[in-house]
Amino acid sequence: MKGAPLVSTVSPMWKACAHTPIQKLASNLWRIESDMGRPPMRRAMDVVRRPNGDLWIHNAVALGEEAMKELEAWGTPAVLLVPSGYHRIDPPRFKERYPSLKVYAPKGAAKKVRERVAVDGTFDELPKDADLTCEPIAGVRDMEGAVLVTSDDGVSLLLCDAVFNMPHRTGVDGFILKMMGSSGGPRVTRIFKLAVLKDKQAFKESMLRLAATPNLKRVLVQHEDLMTPAELRAAIDAL
């Protein structure tokens, strides 16, 4: 593959968790969900293929070799978007595997991300074009941003922790997640409210504007299930 900075062997640093098969949501958008172990929840990686064949990876998740080779056959890993300072487990692994990978993070999260991996720039420094834009989310001190991806079938909104969409779990861990307000369908979690949210009204207005994006088809969150624009609006209205 032209220009692909790939490794020939698997580094001991590369640690893949159990994950779903690649979900091919659109011609330029793939998604993979991976187990986290404890707490019993999943995290997701979304991959956007650019017109020139470059892959922009949103929220890196180390996958098994078969899935990684399928990604590498699809395009050249070129840009890594680290959507939050709390999502830093796998960026160093991806940077080791792909040394020429450019890493970007929201302005308010860049310092925390730099503790684990070199950051080449912030979300607001990325160019905007017709099929991919990074948009600010108000009220969160630039600790998170949103990504809008245009595909043949409509627009996808990629978020990080601003909204969860997890079903309730069983057992003690499930009870804890429920008590923390993290499970039970689309919602803004208590942890997000405490750790990230600083201006609720500005956040609500910003998120509702994103939910009203023309031709918005799907909302992709990192924990866990896809949402419709109507479900996103309901979660924000309930805040």
35 inside domain: yes
113 inside domain: yes
Best CA proximity match to 214, nearest among 170, 148, 129, 159: 148
- Percentage of residues of the chain with pLDDT beyond 90: 76
pLDDT reported for residue 39: 72
148 inside domain: yes
pLDDT above 50 for 111? yes
Indicate the SS3 state at residue 220.
strand
Assign residue 72 the CATH number of its domain: 3.60.15.10
- 212: number of Cβ within 10 Å: 11
Which carries the bigger pLDDT value, residue 192 or residue 180? 192
Report DSSP state, residue 117.
S
2-39 b/e with 16+ CB inside 10 Å = b? eeeeeeeeeeeebebbebeebeebbebbbbbbbeeeee
For residue range 194-227, list pLDDT tens digits in order.
Answer: 999 999 999 999 999 999 999 999 999 999 899 9
CA 158 to mean position of chain CA atoms = 6
Domain count, the chain: 1
Strand partners, 133: 148
15 inside domain: no
Mean pLDDT computed over 114-121:
96
Strand partners, 155: 150, 216
pLDDT reported for residue 10: 57
12 inside domain: no
pTM tops 0.85, yes or no: yes
- Residues near 128 by Cβ (< 8 Å), separated by ≥ 6? 134
13 inside domain: no
16 inside domain: no
164: domain range?
Answer: 23-237
Measuring CA to CA, how many Å separate 10 from each of 21, 79, 96, 99? 20, 21, 10, 14
Report DSSP state, residue 212.
T
pLDDT reported for residue 41: 80
Alpha-carbon distance 155 to 69, whole Å?
A: 27
Measuring CA to CA, how many Å separate 225 from each of 42, 137, 235? 9, 21, 14
Alpha-carbon distance 28 to 209, whole Å?
A: 24
55 inside domain: yes
Which H or E run contains 43? Answer: strand 42-49
Q: Furthest-apart CA pair in the chain: how many Å?
A: 50
Measuring CA to CA, how many Å separate 164 from each of 159, 168, 237? 9, 12, 14
Strand partners, 32: 45
Mean pLDDT computed over 96-125:
96
